[in-house]
Chains A and B, each alone.
Chain A
Amino acid sequence: MDNKTLYTITVFSENTVGLLNQITIIFTRRRLNIETLSVSPSAIEGIHKFTITVFSDSDTITKVVKQIDKRVGVIKAYCNTDEGLVHQEIAMYKVATDRLLQLGSIEDIVSRYNAHVVEMTRDLTVFSKTGHHADTQAMFKELSEKVGVLQFIRSGRVAITREKVERLSDMLAVMEEKIRRDRMQYG
């Protein structure tokens, strides 16, 4: 990846139509490939959270974060490298039950990978596993070699910073205070 680092960008935004497009085109224009993308409601009602991973360098990523932060609808954007984060992805694997049973012990693979059996029928078994990319990939590799994987899906990364508080809560507090002052000023 020519000395590029994997950055995780976190974006808090209003839940408005078209915001995802506005954010992704900022990457497109700068010829950056998004590795993973995950969007969901945040802990604060009405505010959505994007987690985006991308290989880049610190100078480029700083500019990208500023461009995202600048968009109307984006409340706050920031980025971290892996050291600053606790992060996970979830993967699901579908295999044929009869081939799986030929392995002998299902418990062995489940416990070694800390995976779960989500569903098991006579025909098909679905496992799920959360972990880092390398972990979910290792399980995929082993299942592929030993049983064959019929379907495989991996989510985008979700991440939490190692800092004590979510920075957004501070931001919102400052914002609410400003709004309160404005209200007093304008009645």
Chain B
Amino acid sequence: MSEKQITGSEALMQALINEGVDTLFGYPGGQAIPLYDKLYNYRDSLRHILVRHEQGATHAAQGYARTSGRVGVVMVTSGPGATNTITGIADAMMDSTPIVVVAGQQASPLLGTDAFQETDLIGITHPITKWAYQIRSVDEVAWAVAQAFYIASHGRPGPVVLDFPKDVQTALTEFKPHHITHIRSYVPVPEMNAKAVAEAARLINSAEKPLALVGQGVILGNAETELTTFLRKGDIPAASTFLGLSALPSDYPLNAGMIGMHGNIAPNLKTNECDVLIAIGMRFDDRVTGNLKTYAPQAKVIHFDIDAAEIDKNVKTTVAVDGDVKETLPAVTRLLREANHTAWRDSFKPLNNRETDKVIRAELFPADGPVRMGEVVNRVSDATGHDAVLVTDVGQNQMMALRYFKFSRTRSVVTSGGLGTMGFGLPAAIGAKLGAPGRTVCLFVGDGGLQMTIQELGTIMQSGVEVKIILMNNSYLGMVRQWQELFFNERYSETPMVNPDFLKIADAYNIPGKRVTNRADLDAAIAEMLTTQGAYLLEVVVEQKGLVYPMIPAGACITDMLLGNE
């Protein structure tokens, strides 16, 4: 009965295939050569995207996971290869993104001796992973990979690290695929509590001014339909966090926009006016709540979450509905009365009009002056029929993109929410496109963030991934500059940027592009970008000192919004 013996490296390939993996992002190196040697035999079934820096591999895996709903996979070498993945792993932890990072490691006998390219990856990544494990014997490979994928993708998703010593990569084993249905010491989905469900329904039924806050939990739980059924029956306006965006179509009648520091006026103000606040798969980030002491003090709070540690972490709940929103939302919906909150919903309108008058019209439809970031986003969004995947970098470009890009279907937003990682955008867009090959992927990025991972243009060149890059160049680190203008007496410490010729750089990578400085040329350039086959760099020279409004200063009460020009 003895099966053929294969190496640990080959066992990894088979275990990955067993998990349904067909794409991985990585970079070879000394302690990963046996892995890459076996990958060479499996290159028909495992497509490897060679990045230009390991950080890019992790962000690409994140982008892939976010658009596809599958686990993103990264393969790197030990030491610097492994430490270069840290930012992406931390980002995936903050934003609940399922990725598995497999890193080569020095041979077991050398561990702890400061051997060449040895680093304690497990020790380093414990605080920023759901699970970090060193494969200690070749017979463990199948189990460890199965466990890694199970943990990354079950319950609240997150990153997993597998540290793979070189001697284990080359040792021989009889591979048997492993399948995991449970882990004794991990409860991915807490049991739904019927009492909590009934109490939540009772509160919502008694509400006159209910407001729902939609987080990424809805998307991760594939509960978009369950959400709209819930909202419709309860007639509940709903606003999204960054990562919750696109769970509801932008034009959905009950969609009340975006909450948070640069969110919409209405849902932010209404948070402090509603009688029942219903948080669904979101975690009350400080960028959403502002000062917790003044956050929704009048409201009864219902919190739906799969992660029990999120309950009462920041905002104290009246009712916690533990569990998977795919199950808990319908359970509550069944107990709801058909409600009608017309007056409450109508009360959002004047606030929306106020935001249009004070902020939006001038940002999206300026008559003259330099091109503004908001109008670039708006025109690209319109030109793609509100059907594209939006990827953003971090900073003003991100806020403008998340404020003004419109969505018609779910899994359309890839952004670094929790960690706020500049440099995230370009590699994430590569992964996003590979995760959603049939969709147009638009990356909005600033001149600062683009230069943090600009080497990934090489990945685009080599893999031919079709990413539409919209560079909004203001020659500043714009968001920091905004804070300096508003809160630091216009002392622009180290925020002006002297930039290279981005088109020449793109050209060197065989990526066509265009620079636009006049608004009159913008639509034609966008059309050219979208009709050009393959990747494209559209550089739009935007207003140097543009400001993102509205803005709730950090730590302020969410009703204390700055609108500018007042």
- Chain B residue nearest in CB terms to A26: B127
- Chain B residue nearest in CB terms to A12: B185
From residue A81, how far is it (CB to closest CB) to chain B in Å?
A: 19
- Chain B residue nearest in CB terms to A182: B181
Cross-chain contact A25 with B308 (CB below 8 angstroms): no
Chain A residues closer than 8 Å to B182, beta-carbon distance: 178-179, 182
Chain A residues closer than 8 Å to B179, beta-carbon distance: 186
Cross-chain contact B126 with A22 (CB below 8 angstroms): yes
Which A1-37 residues sit within 8 Å CB-CB of chain B?
13-14, 17-18, 21-22, 25, 29
Inter-chain CA distance A25–B122, complex, in Å, is 13
Inter-chain CA distance A62–B313, complex, in Å, is 9
Q: C-beta contact mask, A31-68 vs B, less than 8 Å → 1, else 0?
A: 00000000000000000000000000000001100110
Q: C-beta contact mask, B130-174 vs A, less than 8 Å → 1, else 0?
A: 111010000000000000000100000000000000000000000
Inter-chain CA distance A182–B179, complex, in Å, is 12
Chain B residues closer than 8 Å to A21, beta-carbon distance: 123, 126
Q: Does more than half of chain A's interface fall in helix, strand or loop, or is it mixed?
A: helix
Cross-chain contact A70 with B132 (CB below 8 angstroms): no
Chain B residues closer than 8 Å to A73, beta-carbon distance: 131, 185-186
Cross-chain contact A13 with B132 (CB below 8 angstroms): no
Chain A residues closer than 8 Å to B126, beta-carbon distance: 18, 21-22, 25
Chain B residues closer than 8 Å to A69, beta-carbon distance: 308-309
Chain A residues closer than 8 Å to B151, beta-carbon distance: 72
Inter-chain CA distance A70–B130, complex, in Å, is 9
Cross-chain contact A13 with B185 (CB below 8 angstroms): yes
A117 interface hit (Cβ, 8 Å): no
- A14's partner among B134, B185, B313 (CB-CB below 8 A) is B185
B195 interface hit (Cβ, 8 Å): no
Cross-chain contact A75 with B312 (CB below 8 angstroms): no
Chain A residues closer than 8 Å to B1, beta-carbon distance: none
From residue B137, how far is it (CB to closest CB) to chain A in Å?
A: 13
From residue B89, how far is it (CB to closest CB) to chain A in Å?
A: 15
A91 interface hit (Cβ, 8 Å): no
Inter-chain CA distance A33–B51, complex, in Å, is 42
Chain B residues closer than 8 Å to A106, beta-carbon distance: none
A160 interface hit (Cβ, 8 Å): no
Chain B residues closer than 8 Å to A126, beta-carbon distance: none
Taking each of B134, B186, B309, which has the highest tally of chain A beta carbons within 10 Å of its own beta carbon?
B309
Inter-chain CA distance A182–B312, complex, in Å, is 31
Chain A residues closer than 8 Å to B313, beta-carbon distance: 63, 66
A95 interface hit (Cβ, 8 Å): no
From residue A38, how far is it (CB to closest CB) to chain B in Å?
A: 20
Cross-chain contact B312 with A62 (CB below 8 angstroms): yes
Known: A25-B126, A62-B312, A67-B309. A18 touches B181 (CB 8 A): no
Inter-chain CA distance A178–B185, complex, in Å, is 13
- Chain A residue nearest in CB terms to B134: A17
Chain B residues closer than 8 Å to A70, beta-carbon distance: 307-309
Chain B residues closer than 8 Å to A103, beta-carbon distance: none
A92 interface hit (Cβ, 8 Å): no
A74 interface hit (Cβ, 8 Å): yes
Chain A residues closer than 8 Å to B183, beta-carbon distance: 72
Inter-chain CA distance A179–B127, complex, in Å, is 29
- A66's partner among B122, B127, B134, B309 (CB-CB below 8 A) is B309
User: How large, as a class, is the contact surface on chain B?
Assistant: 20 to 34
From residue A78, how far is it (CB to closest CB) to chain B in Å?
A: 13
Known: A18-B126, A21-B126. A75 touches B309 (CB 8 A): no
Inter-chain CA distance A178–B132, complex, in Å, is 25
Inter-chain CA distance A62–B134, complex, in Å, is 31
B4 interface hit (Cβ, 8 Å): no
From residue A135, how far is it (CB to closest CB) to chain B in Å?
A: 36
A175 interface hit (Cβ, 8 Å): yes
- B185's partner among A17, A18, A63, A74 (CB-CB below 8 A) is A74
Chain A residues closer than 8 Å to B307, beta-carbon distance: 70
Chain A residues closer than 8 Å to B134, beta-carbon distance: 17
- B309's partner among A14, A17, A63, A182 (CB-CB below 8 A) is A63
A-side interface residues, number (CB < 8 Å): 24
Q: C-beta contact mask, B290-314 vs A, less than 8 Å → 1, else 0?
A: 0000000000000000011101110
Which B315-369 residues sit within 8 Å CB-CB of chain A?
none
- Chain B residue nearest in CB terms to A17: B134
From residue B177, how far is it (CB to closest CB) to chain A in Å?
A: 14
Chain A residues closer than 8 Å to B311, beta-carbon distance: 66
Taking each of A62, A72, A75, which has the highest tally of chain B beta carbons within 10 Å of its own beta carbon?
A72
Chain A residues closer than 8 Å to B131, beta-carbon distance: 72-73
From residue A4, how far is it (CB to closest CB) to chain B in Å?
A: 19
Which B523-538 residues sit within 8 Å CB-CB of chain A?
none
Cross-chain contact A75 with B127 (CB below 8 angstroms): no
Inter-chain CA distance A63–B313, complex, in Å, is 7
Q: C-beta contact mask, A135-166 vs B, less than 8 Å → 1, else 0?
A: 00000000000000000000000000000000
From residue A37, how far is it (CB to closest CB) to chain B in Å?
A: 17
Inter-chain CA distance A13–B132, complex, in Å, is 16
Chain B residues closer than 8 Å to A186, beta-carbon distance: 179, 181
From residue A73, how far is it (CB to closest CB) to chain B in Å?
A: 5
From residue B440, how far is it (CB to closest CB) to chain A in Å?
A: 38
Chain A residues closer than 8 Å to B127, beta-carbon distance: 25, 29
From residue A95, how far is it (CB to closest CB) to chain B in Å?
A: 39
Inter-chain CA distance A67–B185, complex, in Å, is 14
Chain B residues closer than 8 Å to A74, beta-carbon distance: 185
Known: A63-B309, A186-B181. A72 touches B122 (CB 8 A): no
From residue A162, how far is it (CB to closest CB) to chain B in Å?
A: 25
Cross-chain contact A66 with B308 (CB below 8 angstroms): yes
From residue B162, how far is it (CB to closest CB) to chain A in Å?
A: 13
- B186's partner among A17, A25, A72, A182 (CB-CB below 8 A) is A72
Chain B residues closer than 8 Å to A62, beta-carbon distance: 312
Cross-chain contact A18 with B309 (CB below 8 angstroms): no
From residue B68, how far is it (CB to closest CB) to chain A in Å?
A: 24
B interface residue numbers (CB < 8 A to A): 122-123, 126-127, 130-132, 134, 151, 179, 181-186, 307-309, 311-313
Known A66-B311, A66-B313, A75-B184; further 7 A-B contacts with Cβ < 8 A: A17-B134, A70-B308, A72-B130, A72-B186, A179-B182, A179-B184, A182-B181
Nearest first, the 7 A-B pairs at minimum CB distance are: A66-B309, A72-B186, A75-B185, A182-B181, A72-B131, A70-B309, A14-B185
A interface residue numbers (CB < 8 A to B): 13-14, 17-18, 21-22, 25, 29, 62-63, 66-67, 69-70, 72-75, 175, 178-179, 182-183, 186
Cβ contacts A to B, 8 pairs, < 8 Å: A14-B184, A18-B123, A66-B308, A69-B308, A72-B131, A72-B183, A72-B186, A186-B179
